[in-house]
Amino acid sequence: MTATPIESRMQRPIILFSRIWPWIFLGLLIAFFVAVVPLASNGSVNFLTIRNSQNILVAITPVLLLGLGQTFVIIGRGIDLSVGWVMSLASVLSALAIRTVFNAGLPLSLSIVIGLLAALGGAGLFGFMNGVIIAKLKVPAFIVTLGSSFIVRGVALLMSENTTVIGLPPGIRDYGNEALVYYIRGEGGGLYLLQRPDVGGDLVRRMDAILPYPVVLTAIVVAIAVFLLHKTQFGRHTYAIGGSPEAAIRTGIPVDRHVISLYILSASTAGIAGFLSTLRFAAGSAVIGDPLLLSSIAAVTIGGVSLFGGAGTVIGTVIGALIIAVLTTGLVMLNVEAFWQFIVIGIVVIVAVLIDQSRDLIISRDRAGQSS
Amino acid sequence: MERRMFLSMLAAAAAVRETGFHPFTSTAYAAEGKPIKIGFLPGVVDPFYQVMQLGVESAAKQLGIEVVTQIPQTWGVEVQTPILDSMVARGDLNYIITAPTDKDQMIGPLKTAADAGIKIITVDTFLGDGDYATGPVTFPVSYIGSDNMEGGRISARGLAKAIGGKGLVYINSTNPNVSSVEGREKGFKEVMEKEFPDIKVLGPDYNLDDMNKAQQQTAAVLERERDLAGVFGTNVFSAQGAGNAVVNAGLGGHVQVVAYDATKAAIELMNTGVVTLVLAQKPFDMGYMGVQFAQADAAGVTSLPRRVETGFAIIDKANVKDPAVARFIYQVP
């Protein structure tokens, strides 16, 4: 049986609204700050500047990278609570690898590539472990990944000998903080590619770094994720498993293998996040990813990925991460007291989830109607 | 002579362990000239407490005292209490040297330990108001540490000097309502208000231990306040994130950043120009003196100070090579 015409007429706009809601909200948010930030500062400060936009893009990179893999996992009706600590482990592993091979005489660029491989390898191994236990032993994902996050935490702390991994090659900071393009506004300015112009005084204040390397790398990962989820069989299988695992098995999708690869993917994007943090802060830290887990799940949820699986997009997660970062930067620029910042961010997350759930409620009511 | 006494003490200790005899009152035990046994329970795994542990072990080795160390993996009453309880349950410890993770909530668990005959010495952090002579909590033997308020004050004076006594400064902190960083904020604000009328303090914003967020918040403040002169990071993580924002804005060296705690990471940040000043506490002193105090108390010394301030050192690029200053860097082998 199909849903009655009245129900589907109500459903369609709600589903459509929940799909474009993150975009609308981001637009409203930016418009709000663009209007209010100059008012709060008597016109001396603007929200929509090149520098501010780049700051926000840099700020979303770790949250977004954790969220990208999580998007796949949650669409596939799972959850990965270990990503924060996997990111920390990757940060430690990449820092140790870079320091070791650089000190052994390898050039910096090659050392960094090896650092990335170490991060991906270590993270991927834990992703594989998560996936196998979840898929083959049928243990609930949140228990498995919660448990493995303790293991990862221990391994990261042991490997870092419980301290920040320092002594990395001096040039490494540039890879994590410099940008593709530099632009100096106004008199004596101009456009510079790849090389931070060596200027001082007033010119520094007018210089914008556009497309910092972490943003570029994250954008590439986003592009790959979009392609993977929306253009390939891998993506279609992910939606199918999230929609109905039983149906996916009946249609011959290798569900176990696919679930394992979802957790490897999730750990890998967390691994890239850890690698990037090592470049950005020129050090490896065994605790750097821990506080990011909740933000990353919030980004995924605000972006419209259903926590019940089967629905969501990569771009939605990007928007979700942007909403959180725009809020954080905007509230600081408005000089809002710290405690009010918490309250506002909390309200936004809950409103977003409410709208997400209203869609799920309607869909499930429809399903219940069909089966009766 | 000393060594032979030490050996006989060890033998005695071993004999006690074999017979399974556990003394319940430490003072009687010590009065018989037998060695005391100390439990060391710091707040969390980090370089600061690792250096403190070195101090504890160094003193214990010299005095021939056995130490049992348990380190919580995360900071918090709910993590520290069960470890404390299990140390009490061993029944063989005479003293526990600990950094309470909450000045109020840890009173109960530590009082229970004290009632079981174990004497308490608090290091780094204290119970109640830290005044064990006339304050609300008097059962611990002594408090040995450096007051976070005072650390905030010294950071403020250091930063004020670095920015020439005037301008805007910003506090980036970890979490609200954590006594350690809260004290640092308070002391910092107090000195700026009283001693430097031309300095205005902004913040704090809380990064929730997220270095990335510390960078984002500081970048936003730099956008808002074009003439920001300095940043106080209430721990190394905060200072590292804040310093990254400053350097990325091309303002390294123009905006001064203070980091609280002299970890090796903080020193490296100073050497690469991400932070300007590093405030060092003296965790080795705290650990070493903690053991000495236990030994002295067991031997019947009655005039031990109830509160010892170990003080601070300010490290900058000019003095970091000076061995008298460099020894305060938290060196963990």
DSSP string, B137-168: ---SSEEEE--HHHHHHHHHHHHHHHTTT-EE
B79-133 tens-digit pLDDT: 999 999 999 999 899 999 999 988 889 999 999 999 999 999 999 989 988 899 9
Note whether A153 contacts B73, CB cutoff 8 Å: yes
Q: Does A282 touch chain B if contact means CB atoms closer than 8 Å?
A: yes
Longest dimension (CA), chain A: 74
Stretch A139-154: mean pLDDT: 94
Kindly tell me if the per-residue pLDDT of B16 is higher than 80: no
CA distance B130 to B138: 9
Q: How close B138 gets to chain A, by Cα (Å)?
A: 34
Q: Tell me whether the omega of the peptide bond preceding residue B176 falls within 30 degrees of 0, making it cis.
A: no
A103-122 tens-digit pLDDT: 999 999 999 999 999 999 99
Q: Which amino acid is at A267?
A: A
Of B268, B263, B219, the closest CA to residue B241 belongs to B219
Q: Does A45 touch chain B if contact means CB atoms closer than 8 Å?
A: yes
Q: What is the DSSP letter of B75?
A: -
Kindly write down the DSSP assignment for every residue of B240-290, as one continuous string: HHHHHHHHHTT-BTTBEEEEES-BHHHHHHHHTTS-SEEEE--HHHHHHHH
Stretch B9-19: mean pLDDT: 44
Q: What is the DSSP letter of B307?
A: E
**Nearest Cβ partner of B45 from A162, A164, A280?**
A162
Cβ-proximal residues to A355 (8 Å cutoff; 6+ apart), any chain: A17, A18, A21
Q: Where are the alpha helices (DSSP H) in chain A?
A: 5-40, 50-75, 83-103, 108-137, 141-159, 172-177, 202-205, 213-231, 233-243, 245-250, 255-281, 292-302, 314-333, 338-371
Q: What is the pLDDT of residue A42?
A: 81
Residues of A in contact with B204 (CB under 8 A): 338
What tokens appear for B53 in the block?
Answer: 């542990």
CA distance A306 to A180: 36
Mutate which: B212, B217, B275, vs A, most A CBs within 10 A: B212
**Nearest Cβ partner of A205 from B45, B226, B247?**
B226
The answer to whether B174 and A287 are in contact (CB under 8 A) is no
CA distance A200 to A301: 44
Q: Which amino acid is at A27?
A: G
ipTM for this model: 0.85
CA distance B269 to B260: 12
**Predicted model pTM:** 0.84
B254-301 tens-digit pLDDT: 999 999 999 998 999 999 889 999 999 999 999 999 999 999 999 999
Q: Which helix (H) or strand (E) holds B199?
A: strand B199-206
Residue B239 banded pLDDT, cuts 50, 70, 90: very high
Note whether B50 contacts A55, CB cutoff 8 Å: no
Q: How many C-beta atoms surround the C-beta of residue B1 within 10 A?
A: 5
